[in-house]
């Protein structure tokens, strides 16, 4: 199935271990974050995209931030899937997405400056919803209200995601299928409502100008992507589904109410793309070798600040979207196990193993005691550099033990191990 793909500058070295791993993925593979987002999904997507025919992003908006480093050049994406760096591959933005058009146009222009013209192979669902600029102000106003009422906010990125999904659920949203419609009267009414309900000013002329600019470039890229993705399936093409955020932020199964506004699970991704459950042949759960989260909410295994700052500095734990410092701590096995159960993970990708290189001892949360306090196992550190190692046997023994422990405790094999920021810094484990 993958033989012809390997012929053209393969992102992964073509050896027996890689062949076995890729063959195990089947025709439709989802990549899903197993923590609170920021797990490093973008790198796995970028690497595996070279071995799939079609790249699809299902849900979420520009609150997602993916950073990919290729040949020393950093690429940051918020709406486009990380796999779009691979030329010639169709890219689908699914119906579950909420799209801020100026951000999308900026990403398209940035790629063009880097010599990548994605527009001819970009397909945007006509069912995806539009985020207007004033949604961001609504988002900020809602966050301020929550903070006043409850003493703390959700920790939203204030990118307008929540208001967009609120209007979608209220059946009053505006979808991409209306991109070329005259929305001037509708926006005038929305401006009045936004001022009355949220104290937000809507610059209608600015919103209409942004719509006009987007329509000029994107109108012929909007289509029925459900029909398109099933056509690709019927032609035998392989499809890589890129999730956004992480399962602990899922609107149903996450750490509610400190969650995002969409379903971040594999099932949510399939729903958003219009794929049936039995289409999925594999699902890779992405988890850091430690754990981070942004915003408010419980973080049982959050490290004391001295340890957290050490992880933050070594891991560059600052948001790609907001620049906010992330809260840092240790793995929590019950969360990984829950994610594996609810998403059907078939493989783990453990990222950023190298961030733990200097730790003498590594705590791993295994549950809580009668007082609700976290219980830890402690594994010995390896205190040696793992940066750039590309074989499991090349890792220090204690690093191998750490990886084996995760696989054994969760019942899901670790197949990919990230050992640095570059595309090549990845181990494929038998």
Instruction: Give residue-wise pLDDT tens across range 116-162.
Output: 899 999 999 999 999 999 999 999 998 888 888 887 888 788 889 99
Domains and CATH numbers, the chain: 14-128+222-428 (3.40.440.10), 129-221 (1.10.300.10)
| For residues 393-398, average pLDDT | 97
172 pLDDT more than 50? yes
Residue 180: is it exposed, middle or buried by C-beta count within 10 angstroms (0-12/13-18/19+)?
middle
Handedness of CA 165, 169, 172, 174 (dihedral sign): positive
Say what the pLDDT of residue 4 is: 28
Element (H, E) at 60: strand 54-60
Against a cut of 0.85, is the pTM above it? Answer: yes
Concerning whether 75 is annotated as a catalytic residue, the answer is no
221 pLDDT more than 90? yes
259 pLDDT more than 70? yes
| For residues 346-359, average pLDDT | 98
List, for residues 266-275, the tens digit of each pLDDT value: 999 999 999 9
Say what the pLDDT of residue 84 is: 86
Using pLDDT thresholds of 50, 70 and 90, give the confidence band for residue 294: confident
3 pLDDT more than 50? no
Phi, psi of 408 (to 5 degrees): -65, -45
Say what the pLDDT of residue 210 is: 95
315 pLDDT more than 70? yes
How far is 335 from 232, CA to CA, in rounded Å?
35
Say what the pLDDT of residue 6 is: 31
The single residue of 51, 66, 75, 332 carrying the catalytic annotation is 66
The mean-pLDDT minimum among 6-15, 254-263, 348-357 falls in 6-15
Nearest to 58 by CA among 321, 272, 308: 272
Cβ atoms within 10 Å, residue 114:
12
Nearest to 94 by CA among 112, 80, 110: 80
Say what the pLDDT of residue 9 is: 43
Residue 404: is it exposed, middle or buried by C-beta count within 10 angstroms (0-12/13-18/19+)?
middle
The mean-pLDDT minimum among 73-77, 200-204, 278-282, 309-313 falls in 73-77
How far is 134 from 159, CA to CA, in rounded Å?
10
| For residues 210-230, average pLDDT | 97
Concerning whether 66 is annotated as a catalytic residue, the answer is yes
| For residues 188-198, average pLDDT | 90
């Amino acid at each position: 199935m993958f033989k012809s793909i390997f012929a053209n500058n393969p992102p992964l070295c073509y050896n027996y271990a890689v062949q076995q791993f890729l063959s195990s993925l089947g025709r439709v593979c989802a990549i899903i974050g197993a923590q609170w987002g920021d797990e490093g999904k973008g790198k796995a997507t970028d690497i595996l995209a070279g071995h799939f025919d079609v790249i699809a992003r299902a849900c979420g908006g520009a609150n997602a931030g993916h950073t990919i480093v290729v040949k020393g050049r950093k690429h940051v994406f918020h709406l486009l899937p990380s796999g779009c760096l691979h030329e010639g591959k169709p890219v689908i933005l699914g119906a579950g997405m909420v799209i801020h058009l100026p951000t999308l146009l900026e990403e398209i222009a940035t790629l063009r400056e880097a010599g990548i013209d994605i527009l001819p192979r970009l397909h945007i669902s006509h069912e995806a919803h539009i985020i207007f600029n004033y949604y961001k102000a609504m988002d900020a106003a809602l966050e301020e209200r929550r903070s006043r009422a409850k003493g703390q906010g959700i920790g939203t990125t204030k990118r307008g995601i929540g208001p967009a999904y609120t209007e979608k659920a209220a059946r009053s949203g505006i979808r991409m299928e209306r991109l070329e419609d005259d929305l001037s009267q509708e926006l005038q009414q929305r401006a009045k409502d936004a001022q009355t309900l949220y104290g937000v000013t809507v610059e209608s002329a600015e919103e209409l100008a942004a719509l006009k600019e987007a329509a000029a470039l994107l109108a012929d890229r909007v289509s029925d992507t459900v029909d398109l993705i099933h056509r690709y399936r019927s032609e035998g093409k392989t499809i890589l589904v890129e999730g956004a955020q992480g399962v602990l932020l899922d609107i149903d199964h996450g750490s509610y109410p400190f969650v995002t506004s969409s379903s971040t699970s594999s099932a949510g991704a399939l729903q958003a793309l219009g794929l049936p459950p039995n289409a999925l042949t594999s699902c890779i759960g992405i988890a850091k070798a430690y754990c981070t989260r942004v915003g408010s909410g419980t973080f049982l295994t959050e490290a004391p600040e001295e340890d957290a700052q050490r992880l933050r500095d070594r891991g560059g734990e600052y948001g790609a979207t907001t620049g906010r410092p992330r809260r840092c701590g240790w793995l929590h096995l019950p969360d990984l196990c829950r994610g594996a159960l609810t998403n059907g993970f078939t493989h783990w990708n453990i990222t950023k193993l190298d961030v733990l290189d200097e730790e003498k001892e590594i705590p791993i949360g295994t549950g809580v005691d009668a007082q609700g306090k976290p219980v830890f196992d402690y594994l010995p550190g390896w205190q040696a550099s793992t940066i750039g190692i590309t074989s499991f046997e090349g890792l220090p023994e204690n690093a191998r033990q750490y990886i084996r422990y995760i696989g054994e405790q969760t019942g899901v094999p670790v197949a990919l191990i990230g050992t640095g920021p570059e595309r090549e810094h990845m181990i494929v484990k038998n």
